[in-house]
Structure formats: C-alpha cells, structure tokens
Structure 1
C-alpha cells in the first residue's frame, strides 16, 4: 500500500550492511509507493525523508530486497542477505536481466564492491579464486591485461579470450574501466547463457555494469589508496665465486682445459643484477564520485587517477578516467539512457631484454661506477641490463572513448522497444628511441654493446568500433504462465589503421624526435589496417510455469565479412530447461532445502576471431623474374589461403544444481559440462612446389574438447549480535584435449635454447610439452656403456630411449624419443574466501590456487645458447653433480644449452593468499560535526604469500599476443622466458562519503 501522502515526513537515517557485516555501498533505499529514494554511501549509510507511517524498500544487486515499516522511527539499520545462490536475486544477462530463480544457464555474479576492495588495475584481476571454472592469469607488469580462461582453452588460432560487454558495448579490452565505477560483474559460462552473443561468445562472456544515479540528494564519495609494490620470490643467481667456480669447472674438466674466468677477473664486484634493475614501486589510486537526481533525471559522475610504478626501473603507468552515466525519464513512454567514459593512459614500457640479461649477466662485472657502466659484453657475456634500460626510451600514450546511448520506448504495457548505439574509440601513439652510445660509456673497453644509429620509431594505431542494437522485449503473465520474448537485430563495424615510421641518426633531444630529423634516406613508413563488419539477428524466449518449470530458447544468426560469401552466415541455437524442485508439493514438508533447482542446457556458439584477409590470397605485383636471360615483371601469390574457411563451432552441454539449505546458511552450485569445438582452425603442410612462402595454410581441420565439473559453496552465519562471518569455497576440474586433426599438422611452439618445446597434437592438451624424458644422471662408466648415449660424461643427464622407427628402443637418442610431459593448463583450480565482521571492524581474505599445471623453465633451458659465459642459478651451482656430490638431480657443470627435456619441466601448482584486508568503519554519530556521512579506513595486502614448488619468479605464465604470429600466445603458454615477476602490494585506503 502506498504511504499516506498527507502523513508528516520525518528524517530516517541508518546503515545497510551485508549478512557478513560488510557495509553495502550503493544500495537503494526507496519510500514505498513512490519514486523518491537515495543510495547508501561507502560505509553503507543513508539518510532519507519519509512519512512516519510509511515503509522503506531496501535493495541491491546480489541481495534479497526488504520492505520495512518505519513506525515513526528515526534510525533503521538493515542487514540484506546475500543471494548469490538465492532465487530472488536479479542478475544481468545478455540484452536484459532475469531473476536468479529463472536463470537456466551457468551464470556467476560478483558485486562491484568486492572488486573495488583489491588494489588492482583491472576488475578481472580481482576475481581470481572467486568463480569456479574461471582461470585468471595475471602479471605484475603495469597496464597488462590478465588472460582469462573460462572452462579451458577452446581454440589455438582464433583467439581464446572472453568477450567483454561494458554497459552494452562489446570490447576485447577493459583496462580503461575504473573498478570503483562497477556495480556488478556477471560471467556467462555455458553455451546456453552465451548463445545470445553468437559468434563472439565461444570463450565465454563477461558482462560489466557500471553505477547509475539514484533519486535523492547529491552524494559525494571519495575512495583513495596509496601503497608500495615489491617483487616476490626472486630467483637467486650465482655470486662471483660460485659463477667462476662453475664455469671454470665446466671448461677445465669438460671443455678446453683452461679456465674461462681467471683469478684476475675477480675484482670483488659480486653484482646482483636483479637488485640493480628492480625497485620498490609506489602505487596510488584516487576516485571521486557524485550521484543523485529525481524521478525525472538521475546522474552518476566520477573521475579517477591511477598511478603504478612498476618494480622494473623505468617502467610505470598512469591513467586518468572520467565517467558520466545519466538516465532521462522523458515520459511514461520514453526514457533516454547515456553512458560515456574517457580514459587517458601514459605507459613507460617494461624492457624485457633487461630481465633476460639480468638472468644471464656475469656477476663479476660491476653494474655502474662513477657514471660508467660495467662492460659485460667484454667478457663474452650478454648486454649490461642497466644500459638496456637507461639507453632506450619507450612510451605509449593512449586515449580511449567508450559510450552507449539508448532510447527505450514503452508504447503498451509489457512491451519495451530499445535502440542503442555503442562506440569504442581508441587512439594509441608509441614513441621508441634508442640513444647513441659507444665504448666510452663503459668502465673497460671492448665488447659489442654499442648503439650508433640513434633509431626513432613512431607508431600510431587508431581503432574505432560502433555497434547498433535494436531490440524488442515483451513480457506477459497469463495465470501461472510467464513469458519474456526478445527479438532484435544488431550491426557492427570495426576499422583499424596503423602507421609505423622509423628513422636513423635522429638527435637525442626529445623536441627533435621527428622522422624528418633523421639522416637522409633512412626514413621508412609502413601503413597497414583492417576493416570488418558483422550483422546479426537474435531471438530469445523465456518461459516459466508456476515459477517451477523453466524454459529458455535462443537463436542467433550471425554474418561476418571475415569469411567468404559462401560461409559468411552462422546460426547458433540453444535451449535450456530448469526445475525449481523445492516448490513441488512433495517437498512442502521438508525443512532442509529452501532452494533446490535443477538445470540442463545445450547450445552452440561461434568464433570468427581471425585476421580479415585469411580467406583470400593477395597477389604481389611487379615481381622480377628472368626467362631466357630476359627480365620480366610478373605476379606472385606468396601465400596460399583457403577460400572455404568457416566458423569454429563450439557445442556445449551443461547440467547443474543450485541449492540453499540449513536455514539459508549454506548455498551452492554444482555444474558438469561437455564442450566441443568443431572445425577448429589449424595449419596443414603444402608441397613446396606450390610456392607458398610458409609451405602451409590455414584451414578448419581439428576438434578441441573441454570437459569438467564445477562446485561452489558459501556458508554465512552470525555469532551473537556482534559477530558475523561467511566462508566461500569453489573448485573446478577441466580436461582439455585435441581430437581428430583430420589432415592437419601438429602445431609446434617456438624454439627455446635451439630446441622446440611444445607440440599441439591428437590426444593431448593444447601446447603440451614434447621433450626428452630425463630419468637420472650417469654415475658410472658402465651406465654410459649400456646406454644410448655412448658419448656422455659422468654427471650428464640420462634420457630414456623410447623408440626407433619400429617402435622399439634403438640405442639412439633423437627426436623419436620425445614424450609428452604435461601442459600449462591446470587440471584443478580452486579458491577459498572468507569475511569476518565484529561491530565496526571487518576482515576479509581471498585465496586462489591450481593443481596439475606444468611449467617449462625456459630461462634455465636457454642459458648458454649463444654465450658460454652466462650466469647460472645459485641452486644449480650449489647442487650440481660432482664426484664428491653424486646424490643430486642437477647435472654437472656445462657451458652450452642442454636438449629440451623433462629436467626443465617443473610443477606449476601453487596456493596464494591473494588479498588480506582489515578495515574499520567509524560510527556515524562521531562524524556528524564534520558533516561526513561515512568514513572507513583499511589496510590491505595483495599477493601476500605464494606457496609453490616452481623455482622461477612466478607460476603464472601470461604469454603476450603477437598479431604477427596468430596463436603464438596459446601455443607457447607455460614457457617461462621473460616473465614479469608477480608483485606484492601493501596499501592503506580510505572510503569517505559526504
């Protein structure tokens, strides 16, 4: 019943908290029966004018709503129950929202307040360990985009990253999003949930909804955080004496017979190169938000500044963001919504050569003395890492504009027509400069580390994307039958233009960094680009009978310019069924379950994420050739392409159970899925006579499967009046496998130490390590004589003689003896998270781990590939085989690179305390004189502790995508070459509301 409009209004204040005692930010407080309302601040506080005999409605995404009678009370504190697995929660799905009780697919929800707690740049970093079946591979490098794998890896060439949808705008990059602006994040995991996005949804979909204004007085919030970052788990390299002893032993006993490092070279430098190039970095993040409005107009404005000093000298990132979200209610029929953001970034890139060289550089050379550098190259070693950093400049400036502008029309009851235009504009400029230097900058002469060209490289990348969505949604209830019908058409166009210019002998003064300032004739300009378009038709029917029996059916037809006209269109259906079993009469007398829902679904989604030119061959004109001693100009097709390229199709079954029990204290979700990608793209070999430059071409010739299960459990309870707590755990198992290559050739990863390491082949996970099997170390001459390694020395690794051409051991160790030795893809991922509240104090802890993952220690394997004077790890020097130390698994001292073998394959399992936060919220009564509505202070630690057997910097291997090498990041995942170390962060933060 609406509140009596003539009743006298009173001022009602209070605090809204979660069932775990956490302040609930941006919860809505409405006067029942009207549109008058406010939102809570960063401490969950609110203040509203309302009739004394009226009621207030409290609501927030992810929590069950409550309606409370005022009864002339001036203070009303409310606890909202987390409904992460409850049926009444409203969640965002593709092109709309649904009650959780009506969701038939595998959808996970995370409140924005949880994402903003952690000192990370991108929201996906904050979901590590929070969602079953979602693996997040992050990096300590500032402005890096975490790799997200939803239910395994489903492609090799056509991309494996999920689709991000930010307020309706489809994108592949969310580094421009301010975490404090997010209201909620939904992760659509199975094909029935993602099918509404068709061709973009093969790798899952992440929906991000940013904050909106609420009716009521203007509220101002400030969220600030300052902290420091440091490297964790650094690799301990050999010192001066260990280094000299190891190399001299290898040279004297197993090499030329003379010492490589004479005693005269030992000057006491004992340089730790990681100490020289790494630092403790300062980080800060400041955000100011304003929100408010009335029943006709609501607004949310925010601005943010983020600064992150990398732990590598010279590496940092700064970002400034602005967001404006507005809703205009023009009439009962028309409503206009706008969402616009601008982000400006400035990054000084990490010099990854410095990482590689710091691992290999000789400790007997000083880093820098009296303004001059130690000359590592003069001792036959790699470049001085400090010179790499200080004599190179690499800056990237990026401007990003993103927005969605929509008009909702409700001509009749139940029908909503929506037309929305989304834009995503990106302008990136990179300036790279190599300074001039010669041998005079070094302490000692010689070597080959000089730079005389003064090279300038300017890159300008402009990209723009527009998406026009037109949908109609009709909702109707007839007795016990509920229908929601969605139909629509979408169009999308993307354009990309890249200009790269280089010049030599450009002056070192930044004011003269123009290509024309370079030496005449050294300038080059390369201009490339891309353009593609998509057009789609979509439809979805949601039906429920008596809130018990649920049906969701979806169809999407997608057309893309990335395939030929014969294969341009793809059709992606899905169907899902649900049964709210707890509402049946036969369960009316049970007291165990308050929620019990069974789900089953099947669906198909596509993948067109390939280069736009792969289905047609481009001719090269005016190619010179000779015939009968006469020069002719002809036409050449350097690459042969498959004109019949078509969609990768992912087909997925999902079966799930959602439940809440034990008086709503325990809730959970169980899912089993079987996902198969047919027509996956892979290369096949061509006869050289056909003239293709690579002797291979891309076609649809394999199948990839991912099968597994997911379990998530949450326990929430109270102890007395002062204590609240919640515990959440999730675990997921996935099995990845290549099936049916159908004439395609196994994909080989990059060389490491002159040896191939990964092989993607039938019956194995993607990017499996294919190496020799190390089974021990030779301890006697008789062992060598009886082995397949007749030229081996004592202390050498023993490789298992697997097979010859006839399938039996043949007494020779070669490529036929390679075995599959696991892959980086984990078999199990898990997370354990908890919160504790005591009065005004709060404590939260988030953990993450995985098992069954393997890492190829490429740093160690590549040692000695070129320079035999490369440094070694301290543990290798300390534990190497010698006649006096035979009981070890580390081989004797060597100078060159060893063959790729299981010796370099290590466990990638780890358990990490991702975040630990302690906070205190000041009682509102103590802040009134300062006109502060809320104040919370907190201390937080990110990546506090990692437990892992891996001996490298970090067990998280995030391979970077390379546009020139499609699929390289996938085919080389897990190979540790130049991995940026994981960083540990300690920070102090403030949440302030006015």
Structure 2
C-alpha cells in the first residue's frame, strides 16, 4: 500500500514537472512609464535563442517554459528579467536607463543604436574608474584603460592637462588630439581640469570610421565622448557625500648625483679645490638632500562632494557641488577649485521632452617656476646644488642665495604668479516625437571661460629693490554649438528588418579676446598695482574667431540583429580655410556580422558571443591657427609714426587635411567570462597641413599648405576575464595592448628629408614622425680619453670615427619620442564588501633627450654645481674602458643624452570596504557607507635617469615631476 502511494506521488511529480517544463505561449505588452507602447523592444527567453521584437502596438507573443524567464530590453531603458511563473499574460513596464541613454548618444546624433549593438568601434570606461582619483585632470585615470589610446601627464602641476593621442600621430604639424565632446557639445581640452570626476557617468573613445565620421570636422584623431551623470525617473531623492584627504610627493627621482664625499673628492682630483678646502668640507659633516628641501613630501589634498539624484514620473535630475584644494610638491604650486553641476530631463507630455545640463567650475591656480633650465626651477636646482651647502642661515632663516644662486623658495616668494579661471559648460535641448518612430531634436550648447592672470616682482626683491613690477592679463572665449537632428525608426511588419535614418545640421562658432598690461616701478609690496608704477604701461590685445557649418546624415540597416550595415556622410565648411577650398565631404561605411546569432553557434555554450566588424571612411583635420589662409597685416613704427605691413602671404587654396581609415575587428566571448577584442587599423593621412618653407625671394619664410602624407598602422587588443564569479567572490583581470607603426610617405617640394636640428628631429620618408636626428656618440677613445662620433659617407654609407664633434654626421637614429608599444593591465577582487583594484600602465620604445646631462657633465659647472654620479667613472689613463670622457671635455647634444624613457607604472591602487547594507540601514537614515584608500603613481620602473619618464616631449628641460599620492576617504549615501 505504501509502495503504491509513493509511486503515485512520484507519478504526480513527474506530471507536474513535465507540465512546468513544457513550453506555452506567453503574450503581453511592453510600455514605458508614460504608458506609451515601446516598438522594437527585444523579448528573449533566457538561456535560449528564442525571442522576438515588439510590434507597432508594443505587443509580443513568445513560446516559453512555465518555469522560464523572459529578458526584456530596449535602447534607453533598463533591462528586466521577469519569471514566467506559469502565466500566459505578462505586461512589462520599462524604466528609462540614464546610462543607456548616454550609450545611444555616444555613437553620434539622434536616438540611434546603443553601443552594444552598433558596429562602430567604441571603448567605454565607466565613471567608477574615475571616481575619487586625487587629481583635477580626469584624463589621467584613463591611462592604459583603452587600447590604442595614449594618455600622458607631463607635469606635477595640479592644474596641468594631459596630452592624448589615438592610434599614433596622424599629422606632422596640425593637431593630433582627439575631439572632446561633453554631453553632445564639443569642448576644449582645458575644460577637463574644471570638471569633477565624480560627476562623470562614462568616457567613451570612438575609434573607427563608422563611429567617428559622423563628427566629420576634427574627428581625424578620434572622439572622446564624456557623458555626465543623470537622475532616474520614479526614484526617491538620494544624497551622496564624499570627503577625502591625502598627501602628495614627487613620484620619482632617478637622478644620481654625487654626495659630499664624492663631489669633494672629485673636485680635489681635478684640481678645483685644494687639500685644505677638501678637509674643511669633510669636517663640516654636511650632506644636504636638496630634493627633500625643495620638494614637499607631504603636500596636502582635500576634496568634499555632495550630490543629489532622483526623479518623479516625468522628471529626472542630478545635482552636485564639489570643493577641492590641492598643493603641488614644488614651491609656489597649488590649485583650489569649486565645481557645480545641474542635469535635468523632463517629459512634458507624450510627444515632448526637454532638458538642460549646466556645469560651472571656478578655480584659483598658483604655478611653480618650470621654465626650462632656469636656476629658479626647483627641478633644476635640486639636482645641481652642492651637497655641502645648507639652505638656512645661522639664525634659522632661509638663505636668499645658495652658492651664488637664488634660492627657488625665495625667488617664488618674490615672483608670485597665479590665475583664476571661470569655466561654464552646458546645453539645453528640446525633443518632439510627433508620430511613432520620428524624433526631432534641437540642442544648443556652450563652452565658455574667463581667465584672469597676474604675476609680480615684489618691491622687496633684493635684486631690484623698490622697483617692483606688475603684469595682469584677461582672456575670455566662448564656443557656441547649435545642433538640429531629425531621425526616424522605420516600422516594418517583419520585425527582422530594422532601418534607421538620421539627418542633421550643426553650427559652431568661437570668439575669444586676450588683453594684458604691465608696468614696473612699484615701491611697496602692499601696493602692487599697475596704477602705482611709474612711466607708461605696456599693453597688448588680440582677438580670435572661427566657425564651422556642417550638414550630415546616417543610415543603419539591420536584419535579425545578425547582419548590420551603416553609412554616414558629413559636409563641413570651416572659416580656417581659403575661399577656394573651404568645404570638405567625409563619409564612412561599415558592416557587422553577429555570428553568435547564426544557427550553428546559437546553442554553443563555449562561445557566448562572436562578432566581426569592418569599416572604411574619411575624416577631416582643421586643427591649425584661425587665419593661416589670410594675408595678415601687422603694425610697426618708424620714427614715431605708425604703419602697417603684410606679415604673412596667406593661401586661398588652403583646405582640409584628410584621413582615410580602414578597420577590421573581432569581438569574442567564451563562457560569458573571457572577452577578447582584436582590432587592426590602417590610417592614411594626405593633404597634410604643414608650414612649408618659402624661397627668400618671396619675402616670407613660410606658409601653410596641403602637402605630404603619412600612414599609421597598428593593432589593438583588449582582454577582460572574470576569473572567479560567485555569490561572495569576484576576481577579474583586464589588459590592453597596442602597437602602432608610423611612417611618412611624402613631404613637400620633392624633399625626402626635412631636418629640424634645433629640435633634434627630422621628417624623412619611410621613417617615424618623431624619430631623433643627432650625432651618434661612439664611446671614448681608450688611448686618449676623447669622445668619438660617427661619420657616415653620403656616397657609400661607410662609417668612420672622428673626435671633432663638428665633423660628425647628423643622422636618423631609429629611435622615436613616440612609443610603438603601450597599454595597461589590472586586477580587481572583491569579497563581502572588501574590494581591491590595481591598475598598471606601460609603454616600450619611447625615447627622450635628457637635457639635464648637459649641466651634470659640464666641467664649467663643476666648481659651483653638483655633478652626476656617473662622472666618477671618467677616463683617467690610457687603456681605461669607459663611456665618460676625460676631465675638461664639454658635453655635446649627441646620442648619449638620448635615453630610453619606457616605463611601467602602478597608476592607481584602490582598497575599499562597503559596510553591509543590512547593518547600515538600521540607522533609519544612512543607506550606504564606504571607506577607501587610493594610491596614485605608487611604483615606477624605468631606465630613464631623469625625474619622470611620463613626459610627452622630445627634450626634457628640468620638468616638474609627477606626484605620488596617498588618499583616504569616506562616502555616505542617504
């Protein structure tokens, strides 16, 4: 009897299980929070390839297991996972997703397609990567995060901007920086210093022609699209408060200079001092570390942020305010910044949307003396000051003169220089949707600044007592952008077909003014004003303007989200070009094959995603001066009479520098944990904008022309791996690798080479754009201790040696200031609220001329300045094998000063703890609590002997080194 009952029970369970596992038809609708149907939303049965898109009425009907799950998604809305739970009718309401909206905008204009389904090459860096970083420059945190995208911060100045390049240098003399777009409005690179990184939702780097050609003008160097944070509808207000404090110190100092014993012994050996002086120096016991004296090893940084986000049924908002105070490590270096942001979006009714984003930044900047080889430069003097000198007088006060040189600390106190910058960025838009699928949007944006600068020579300066000086300047400029787009999503009876069309017009205008005045003769530090000086002030002013007018269009066709094709075209006219060649037309075509959607891969669980992409297109570069095409007038005086003369000849045929870009890419994902992106590109630039030398008989030295061409080819690789993914644990690894090969293919006037010896560079066909051009040092003659250089026979190429520097051959060395290999890698791990993330950045093959060696090796400086420790290995007697010539030999600008500036750097390390929400919420007030530690530039491995290998320059001139920073903070959400 019991056995029958058990068998019957098992049978019932089997029937129930079979019923639950059997597919049934599930119908329903998908609408937005406004009740309007969403056309084209994807409804997918989880774990299968079964699915469909919603009809013109927003309805769907799909076969699904009774115990299955539906995944419902649409561009601009949050994806929802809904259990079927035996139901046959499910109605879904999707909430808008602020992040998804940003992803839509990033590909160009209009409503378009989200990044995940577009065929354009777009690399996204989430705002979490930028949050809480102890720098005012948001670009610094992007270093090593995007394959093909180089970022270098060349200075430790708190207000310094970073240099950025995508896929190498695309132009020899026009700009090579990417176009920066903030919430749809082009902005200047200096704007990035005024932004609060905690207000950024994401940074998207648009790389290939399919993604960039819609921007046409200035898109030849890629596009950096920044999306700020937005609120979400139907969410209560949420407040976030952050506070952090940290200290900074110089990140590196590879200069090895002599200590007191070494320097005194060196001077005694070469006869600069006698034994009595040597004994007195050694008896003093003084061995000053001038680096520690001139640089602050605990420069403070403070930052406090408050933000509020939320939304009602029809309105979403994000509001924030921030204060940051940051001292630099060098004397007279600091920045204090206030920033505010307000982003508001509203649906007035079913067919009208509007919104406005406004950001305001105000900062005060104090800048250190960083002028090249100046004795007032801390980077310069911390290396060259004699180690037995002291910085203090017997009464404890700081010395004004140290070994005959002005103390940089004293100098900066008497020559203060500062600036104040007010930055305004914003846009307002109006969008109407009169019929289904049609959207008309008009947006107006502004990027404006006002900068006040002032510098002084105090009247108390001992070098010019009672003769102070004042210089004041005022700059302001505004870029106004007006954009109107019309786009339409076609509604087909067959949901496999999707067609999207876009047309638009954009106008950009910039106007700027620069004014400065100065006067000397002030007799009191308390009255340092131009009006208190004597004589007649010196004044100068200038104005500048440019304009772009553009028309563009885009079409995208998709079949079953499996085969996707797009095409775009844009016509740009720029005021920077001559009347005969002012307009340029740029276009792109692209295709993507989503192989995962093919039947032969649909059920493959190993390969969870596989896509192939290809695109080809053209872009334009107009990044030159505003008036190069015009014959310009300049003022002059002759015997107290004013006059005018033609200072430049102009070029009415000056036109666009153009680029052709071909890209092939593959995206593959394994077991939903390993994601690899590989991309090959061929970037060809022609009609380059170059300042071409003119015959002296023309009366002008040069003019801008469209000449020359070059090629950049390379490979980008991106790898992301979820090594461990459980309920409590996550361990991930990410890496980027980039290789770029640059080659000049044509110059001007039939030249195969164009030497620029003052820059130690040479443009040469078949060579890299940044290849060094110098005399090649060939070591020291062991018989007499003289340096030797190579002489190359121009006829045969045979190499001989000379000890006369003037007879040595200037030659291309095969080493470039631009690294051919670069990238980054990182690991992140979390366990029950504890998280650790480390990000490294690296490059290989980057070279820099270390100009400081000219002073550290000079016998003329050896009596009053310190010397490099390597000078102890100088040649002393016949037979010595060394690379340091005998005493008395003057150093030359040759290849021995060219150093490998490759580096590996621990860019950022973050350790954080999020307290359990179940514990925090017991307060009834606080929703979240997070404490964190961040380190920046903690470790640097390099063979470069100078201050900082990250400098993006061909010649190091006592540069302000980057900072190593340690920051702790707390974040509250309530």
Is TM-score (shorter-chain normalized) higher than 0.5?
yes
Distance 1:540 1:225 in 2: 45
Distance 1:157 1:957 in 2: 20
Aligned partner (choices 158, 183, 193) of residue 175 of structure 1? 193
Distance 2:239 2:366 in 1: 33
Structure 1 position 611 matched with structure 2 position 613: no
Distance 1:378 1:874 in 2: 18
Task: Report the TM-score when normalising by structure 2.
Answer: 0.84
Instruction: Compare 184-193 and 707-716 and name the one that shifted more.
Output: 184-193
Q: Helix, strand or coil for the counterpart of 2:214?
A: helix
Q: What is the 5 A alignment of 1:186-585?
A: 186-215=204-233, 216-234=235-253, 235-247=255-267, 249-250=269-270, 270-279=287-296, 280-352=298-370, 353-369=377-393, 370=395, 374=399, 379=404, 382-437=405-460, 453-478=467-492, 479=494, 480-509=496-525, 512-521=527-536, 523-585=537-599
Conservation of the 8 A alpha-carbon contact between 1:102 and 1:544: no
- In structure 2, stretches of 5+ residues that fail to align are 1-29, 36-68, 86-96, 371-376
Give 1:162 shift. 1.1
Evaluate the alpha carbon distance shift between residue 526 and residue 89 of structure 1 in structure 2; reply closer, same or farther with a 3 A threshold.
closer
Give 1:874 shift. 4.1
Evaluate the alpha carbon distance shift between residue 361 and residue 884 of structure 1 in structure 2; reply closer, same or farther with a 3 A threshold.
farther
Q: What is the 5 A alignment of 1:874-889?
A: 874-883=868-877, 886-889=880-883
Q: Which residue of the partner structure matches residue 675 of structure 2?
A: 667
Instruction: Compare 406-415 and 190-199 and name the one that shifted more.
Output: 190-199
Alignment: residue pair count: 878
Give 1:344 shift. 0.5
Aligned partner (choices 842, 848, 869) of residue 849 of structure 1? 842
Deviations 1:132-177 (A, max 9, x none): 1111101322011111111111123221111111111111222121
Aligned partner (choices 643, 652, 657) of residue 661 of structure 2? 652
Instruction: Compare 365-374 and 317-326 and name the one that shifted more.
Output: 365-374
Aligned partner (choices 739, 745, 755) of residue 745 of structure 2? 739
Q: Which residue of the partner structure matches residue 89 of structure 2?
A: none
Distance 2:833 2:544 in 1: 55
Give 1:810 shift. 6.8
Q: Helix, strand or coil for the counterpart of 1:98?
A: coil
Deviations 1:252-302 (A, max 9, x none): 6xxxx9999887788665443322220021112221111112112221110
Distance 2:762 2:502 in 1: 45
Give 1:333 shift. 1.0
Conservation of the 8 A alpha-carbon contact between 1:285 and 1:304: yes
Distance 1:60 1:130 in 2: 28
Q: Which residue of the partner structure matches residue 150 of structure 2?
A: 135
Q: Which residue of the partner structure matches residue 787 of structure 2?
A: 797
Distance 2:524 2:582 in 1: 51
Instruction: Compare 214-223 and 466-475 and name the one that shifted more.
Output: 214-223
Distance 1:70 1:517 in 2: 82
Distance 1:344 1:486 in 2: 38
Distance 1:60 1:125 in 2: 34
Conservation of the 8 A alpha-carbon contact between 1:416 and 1:473: yes
Conservation of the 8 A alpha-carbon contact between 1:436 and 1:454: yes
Evaluate the alpha carbon distance shift between residue 719 and residue 339 of structure 1 in structure 2; reply closer, same or farther with a 3 A threshold.
closer
Conservation of the 8 A alpha-carbon contact between 1:128 and 1:135: yes
Aligned partner (choices 87, 107, 120) of residue 135 of structure 2? 120
Evaluate the alpha carbon distance shift between residue 259 and residue 202 of structure 1 in structure 2; reply closer, same or farther with a 3 A threshold.
farther
Deviations 1:501-540 (A, max 9, x none): 1110224435x3322211123x101001101111100111
Q: Helix, strand or coil for the counterpart of 1:955?
A: coil
Evaluate the alpha carbon distance shift between residue 750 and residue 120 of structure 1 in structure 2; reply closer, same or farther with a 3 A threshold.
farther
Q: What is the 5 A alignment of 1:102-117?
A: 102-117=117-132
Aligned partner (choices 748, 757, 763) of residue 766 of structure 2? 763
Give 1:349 shift. 0.6
Conservation of the 8 A alpha-carbon contact between 2:757 and 2:773: no
Q: Which residue of the partner structure matches residue 683 of structure 1?
A: 691
Evaluate the alpha carbon distance shift between residue 740 and residue 842 of structure 1 in structure 2; reply closer, same or farther with a 3 A threshold.
same
Q: Helix, strand or coil for the counterpart of 2:215?
A: helix
Conservation of the 8 A alpha-carbon contact between 1:760 and 1:766: yes
Q: Helix, strand or coil for the counterpart of 2:258?
A: coil
Distance 1:580 1:839 in 2: 37
Q: Which residue of the partner structure matches residue 790 of structure 1?
A: none
Aligned partner (choices 937, 947, 954) of residue 953 of structure 1? 947
Evaluate the alpha carbon distance shift between residue 720 and residue 893 of structure 1 in structure 2; reply closer, same or farther with a 3 A threshold.
same
Distance 2:935 2:962 in 1: 13
Give 1:715 shift. 0.9
Q: Which residue of the partner structure matches residue 51 of structure 1?
A: none
Conservation of the 8 A alpha-carbon contact between 2:386 and 2:866: no
Q: Which residue of the partner structure matches residue 976 of structure 1?
A: 956
RMSD, aligned α-carbons: 3.3
Q: Which has the larger radius of gyration?
A: 2
Structure 1 position 154 matched with structure 2 position 170: yes
Aligned partner (choices 650, 658, 667) of residue 641 of structure 1? 650
Evaluate the alpha carbon distance shift between residue 144 and residue 697 of structure 1 in structure 2; reply closer, same or farther with a 3 A threshold.
same
Q: Which residue of the partner structure matches residue 778 of structure 2?
A: 775
Distance 2:696 2:208 in 1: 43
Conservation of the 8 A alpha-carbon contact between 2:466 and 2:522: no
Give 1:113 shift. 1.6
Evaluate the alpha carbon distance shift between residue 806 and residue 262 of structure 1 in structure 2; reply closer, same or farther with a 3 A threshold.
farther
Q: Helix, strand or coil for the counterpart of 2:324?
A: strand
Give 1:596 shift. 0.8
- In structure 1, stretches of 5+ residues that fail to align are 1-30, 37-54, 72-82, 440-448, 626-630, 782-793, 959-972
Give 1:735 shift. 0.8
Instruction: Compare 364-373 and 497-506 and name the one that shifted more.
Output: 364-373
